[in-house]
Chains A and B, each alone.
Chain A
Amino acid sequence: AQSVTQLDSQVPVFEEAPVELRCNYSSSVSVYLFWYVQYPNQGLQLLLKYLSGSTLVKGINGFEAEFNKSQTSFHLRKPSVHISDTAEYFCAVSPLFNAGNMLTFGGGTRLMVKP
């Protein structure tokens, strides 16, 4: 089984400042990793994903994440945030080579960008 921990439930930050949203996971097998974003009263939208290859993954809206296998982390970063980045962000994992297994989500981190 897998578990995902998002260490911060809320992250307030000023506009144009950098931000890092933390995600750690636990799994006995190799995993795929995902970050989703949810704007108010909307569904989840894929931000980026790590499947294999380079550990630094670039996504939409200027976000990037780095997979660190030794630390079982997949932290999300953006060098300069905008007001429009205010949303809830979810980290998720799914195991390789396991038929029927689905995404396991973290509890979410609410990013609040202040002017």
Chain B
Amino acid sequence: DGGITQSPKYLFRKEGQNVTLSCEQNLNHDAMYWYRQDPGQGLRLIYYSQIVNDFQKGDIAEGYSVSREKKESFPLTVTSAQKNPTAFYLCASSISRGGLFWGSNTGELFFGEGSRLTVL
């Protein structure tokens, strides 16, 4: 079955440590995204990538880094510079909004199951 796989599901980190969250998709989607979710605050965009080897900052990119070396993979690193990293992290993908075939490019996102990061 096609889908998005995030790992690990739960992660504990000591203050000052970097940690990398994995996101892999087999939907053949060009675009991938990382969101952060805190209680009562909805979804906030961290980074997104519309194509391999290219990515853009979202609304809350400070303290995070990403890479997009393969179409299928979009890992997120939470660095020690992130002041409050405890949160639920969601990875998503979509068909790229670029191109002429608008009929299939609605912007619909497909989400992974999420990774919960707790800083001790």
Interchain CB contact (< 8 A) of A94 among B99, B106, B111, B112: B106
Min Cβ gap B2→A in Å is 14
In the complex, residue of chain A having the shortest beta-carbon distance to the beta carbon of B41: A107
Q: Is B60 an interface residue (CB 8 A)?
A: no
Nearest CB of chain B from residue A69's CB, rounded to whole Å: 17
Chain B contact residue count (CB 8 A cutoff): 28
**Contact A44/B108 with A102-B33, A102-B48, A105-B42 known, Cβ cut-off 8 Å:** no
Which residues of B lie under 8 Å from residue A107 when comparing CB positions? 41-42
Q: Are A42 and B114 in contact (CB under 8 A)?
A: yes
Answer whether residue B68 sits at the interface, using C-beta atoms and an 8 A cutoff.
no
Sort chain A's interface into a size bin: 20 to 34
A46-60 vs B, Cβ < 8 Å mask (1 yes, 0 no): 100101000000000
Please report the C-alpha to C-alpha distance between residue A49 and residue B41 in the assembled complex, in whole angstroms.
23
Q: Which residues of B contact A72 (CB under 8 A)?
A: none
Instruction: Give every chain A residue within 8 A of B40 (Cβ-Cβ).
Output: 9
Contact yes or no, A46 B108, CB < 8 A = yes
CA distance A98 to B105 in the complex (A): 10
CB distance from B50 to the nearest CB of A (A): 7
- Chain B's closest residue to A107 (CB) is B42
Do the beta carbons of B97 and A41 come within 8 Å of each other?
no
B111 & A102 in contact (Cβ 8 Å cutoff):
no
Query: With an 8 A cutoff between CB atoms, is A34 at the interface?
Result: yes
Q: Note all chain A residues with C-beta closer than 8 A to B50.
A: 100
| A106 CA to B94 CA, complexed, in Å | 19
CA of A79 to CA of B79, assembled, Å:
46
Q: Could you pull out 19 A-B pairs where Cβ atoms are within 8 angstroms?
A: A41-B116, A43-B111, A44-B109, A44-B111, A45-B111, A51-B106, A90-B43, A92-B109, A94-B106, A98-B97, A100-B98, A102-B33, A102-B48, A102-B94, A103-B107, A103-B108, A105-B43, A107-B41, A108-B42
